[in-house]
């Protein structure tokens, strides 16, 4: 995996701090739970069960903590509001990552808790400290029933949440993960029935909370853990309401590369560049919400997303709007045919086809969108030089950002931004035909040739034909034969250290930013979206080249979070949701 587990978990300061705090709290709660049970005089009878009851109580408290924590990273709307104020604490969109850490921890402590209880109930039956059998507690009492039920739900949820399954069949993951509702009910009900008590039978009372706190001595953790659940439930309802506000699918454009562009008009939907949304098409599925990066700029009169037909849902959507896989295939072929006439083997001119709803039998489907979510990329206007790096599918957020920059450039409202370096590292450009056409527009609109520089790196191996094509067509041509941009395509992986080194030199000698005052420190902000390994090497290059005159900063734009154009493809690294 490139780097060792130890290096990643312990030698990265931020991760180390997280690990110490996160697991520290867990261990502390375990110890506290253990201790408070062991020293509780009222629970002397239970303490005759010794270590197993201390373990189960300690692990139970930890699980309550995790149960309260697991929904917090899913409170998307609250996070979106709170994040800007806590940006120093959470560097990027790491909420799914955190959700997973809590889930892993939960699985581990569930194992500890359950194992200890199996021993507890065995001994309860043997000693008859309570007049029940082990199986009575397991399968007749609230704690046992909900516990086993939650374990079953966990198996289903964890297995379907594996990235392999998510990519194969997002639906399986999506629907199964909604078992969380029953899981949370189970969690809040887990300690009902006055389970931890100093009396042989449960001490119920007729008024709320229906158990006698004198004798029922559990941690009462549900009083705390229920709040994230309630808030989350409220958020889901709020999302439903918001999604029902007037929304209209105004246009569907099909790009020759097979991507569909949906242009949606929703006046109540406000967003900034770099964010993503959930989309629902009731005609395809009445329940599913699918995440996609917003590819339009906030200045555009519509909200657009680009969708590639790779999964069930996306293909269903294609069929519904009359641009099913067969149509797209035909289009692609036509484009290829046309291209042959142009005698360029690769790259399409990005001529899209607009689907005219008037001609097809059915009107365009209703769509609903929910969002926006994710960190905005407004920071680009606070630096003098913005380096935007998109790798593979990670290029999608930059569609919106580049367009947004372009709009602000036209309005002369660029903040301190003086130059933009755009890097696009991908295996094969042709599959991103739609993005090429966007780049062409942006490139063609440049008045100052130095403002935006596009650097495209193709990392795939090149066949002989393509090599000749490049060699012959490239020389002296106005456009690059591969991307049809004025910018030349480069081959192989970029050498970030060298690139950043040159940039620093150019800035320092004053060639890069004419008129920049060498007394002031030039700020160069890097915004990256793509796989973590690449992020690391770029970050290193940033740190390495920071000098007295030039400050290189590094930020990750959301990690291609599912929201990517091919949100259900099998190849991209995705963090769905």
Partner 1 sequence: MGNLIWHEYARFVSLSATTYTIWSAFWGFFYRKFFWDFVGGTIRAPGGIQPASNVAFLITIIVKAPVVQILSMVLGFGLLALDYPAPFLKGTSIYRSFVFRIVLLILQAFFAILYYQGTNGALWSVIAAGCFMRAQMLGEKMEEAKNNRGRGGKA
Residues engaged in binding partner 1 (CB under 8 A): 1-2, 111, 115, 118-119, 122, 125-128, 131, 133-135, 138, 148, 151-152, 155, 158-160, 162, 164-165, 168-172, 311-312, 493, 531-534, 537, 571-573
Cβ 537 to partner 1, closest distance in Å?
7
**CA–CA dist 576, 290 (Å, integer):** 9
Strand order in the sheet with 368-373: 290-293, 276-280, 368-373
User: Residue 448 has which token pair?
Assistant: 């100052």
Cβ 497 to partner 1, closest distance in Å?
14
Residue with tokens 């709040």: 227
Cβ 303 to partner 1, closest distance in Å?
27
Distances (CA, A) of 130 to 38, 133, 200, 203, 383: 18, 8, 5, 13, 69
Choice between 123 and 516, CB closer to partner 1: 123
Cβ 139 to partner 1, closest distance in Å?
9
Choice between 29 and 116, CB closer to partner 1: 116
**CA–CA dist 117, 93 (Å, integer):** 37
**CA–CA dist 62, 79 (Å, integer):** 24
Choice between 168 and 505, CB closer to partner 1: 168
Choice between 126 and 502, CB closer to partner 1: 126
| Among 412, 395, 490, CA closest to 447 | 412
**CA–CA dist 142, 218 (Å, integer):** 14
Choice between 297 and 573, CB closer to partner 1: 573
Cβ 572 to partner 1, closest distance in Å?
7
Cβ 561 to partner 1, closest distance in Å?
13
HSE at residue 548, side-chain half, CA atoms within 13 A, is 2
Contact 225, 189 (CB under 8 A): no
Cβ 136 to partner 1, closest distance in Å?
9
Choice between 312 and 508, CB closer to partner 1: 312
Choice between 160 and 400, CB closer to partner 1: 160
Choice between 61 and 534, CB closer to partner 1: 534
User: Residue 425 has which token pair?
Assistant: 């590292």
The H-or-E segment that residue 522 falls in is strand 522-529
Please list the residues that pair with 353 across neighbouring strands.
254
Task: Report phi then psi at 555, rounded to 5.
Answer: -145, 145
Choice between 79 and 395, CB closer to partner 1: 395
Cβ 468 to partner 1, closest distance in Å?
27
User: Residue 420 has which token pair?
Assistant: 């933009």
Cβ 1 to partner 1, closest distance in Å?
8
CA triple 393-394-397, angle to 5 deg: 115
**CA–CA dist 253, 261 (Å, integer):** 5
């Amino acid at each position: 995996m490139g780097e060792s587990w130890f290096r990643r978990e312990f030698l990265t300061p931020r991760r180390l701090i997280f690990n110490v705090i996160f697991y520290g709290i867990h261990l502390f709660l375990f110890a506290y739970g253990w201790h408070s049970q062991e020293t509780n005089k009222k629970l002397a009878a239970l303490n005759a069960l010794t270590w197993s009851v201390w373990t189960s109580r300690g692990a139970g408290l930890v699980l309550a903590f995790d149960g309260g924590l697991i929904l917090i990273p899913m409170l998307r709307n609250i996070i979106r509001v709170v994040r800007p104020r806590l940006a120093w604490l959470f560097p990027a969109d790491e909420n799914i990552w955190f959700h997973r850490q809590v889930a892993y921890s939960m699985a581990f402590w569930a194992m500890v808790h359950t194992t200890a209880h199996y021993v507890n109930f065995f001994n309860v039956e043997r000693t008859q400290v309570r007049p029940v059998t082990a199986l009575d507690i397991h399968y007749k009492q609230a704690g046992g029933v909900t516990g086993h039920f939650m374990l079953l739900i966990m198996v289903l949820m964890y297995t379907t949440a594996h990235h392999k399954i998510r990519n194969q069949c997002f639906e399986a993951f999506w629907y199964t993960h909604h078992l969380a509702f029953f899981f949370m009910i189970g969690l809040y009900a887990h300690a009902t029935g006055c389970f931890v008590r100093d009396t042989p039978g449960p001490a119920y009372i007729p008024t709320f909370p229906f158990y006698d706190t004198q004798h029922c001595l559990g941690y009462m953790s549900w009083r705390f853990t229920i709040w994230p659940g309630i808030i989350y439930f409220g958020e889901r309802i709020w999302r439903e309401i918001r999604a029902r506000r007037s929304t209209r699918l105004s246009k569907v454009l099909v790009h020759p590369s097979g991507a569909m562009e949906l242009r949606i008009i929703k006046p109540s939907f406000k967003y900034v560049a770099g964010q993503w949304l959930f989309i629902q098409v009731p005609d395809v599925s009445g329940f599913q919400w699918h995440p996609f990066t917003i590819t339009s700029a906030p200045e555009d009169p519509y909200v657009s997303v680009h969708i590639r037909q790779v999964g069930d849902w996306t293909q269903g959507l294609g069929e519904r709007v009359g641009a099913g896989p067969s149509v797209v295939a035909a289009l692609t072929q036509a484009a290829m045919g046309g291209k042959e006439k142009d005698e360029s083997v690769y790259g399409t001119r990005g001529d899209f086809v607009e689907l005219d709803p008037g001609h097809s039998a059915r009107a365009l489907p209703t769509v609903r969108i929910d969002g926006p979510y994710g960190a905005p990329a407004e920071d680009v206007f606070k630096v003098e030089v913005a380096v935007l790096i998109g790798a593979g599918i990670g290029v999608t957020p930059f569609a919106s950002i580049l367009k947004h920059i372009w709009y602000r450039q036209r309005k002369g409202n660029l903040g301190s931004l003086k130059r933009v370096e755009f890097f696009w590292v991908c295996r094969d450009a042709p599959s991103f035909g739609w993005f090429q056409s966007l780049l062409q527009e942006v490139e063609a609109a440049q008045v100052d040739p130095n403002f935006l520089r596009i650097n495209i790196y193709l990392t795939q191996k090149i066949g002989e034909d393509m090599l000749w094509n490049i060699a012959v067509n490239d020389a002296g041509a106005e456009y690059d034969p591969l991307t049809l941009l004025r910018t030349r395509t480069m081959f192989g992986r970029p050498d970030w250290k060298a690139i950043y080194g040159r940039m620093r030199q150019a800035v320092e000698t004053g060639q890069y930013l004419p008129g920049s005052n060498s007394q002031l420190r030039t700020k160069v902000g890097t915004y990256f979206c793509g796989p973590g390994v690449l992020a690391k090497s770029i970050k290193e290059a940033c740190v390495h080249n920071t000098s007295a005159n030039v400050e290189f900063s590094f930020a990750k734009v959301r990690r291609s979070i599912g929201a990517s154009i091919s949100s259900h493809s099998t190849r991209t690294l995705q963090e769905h949701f």
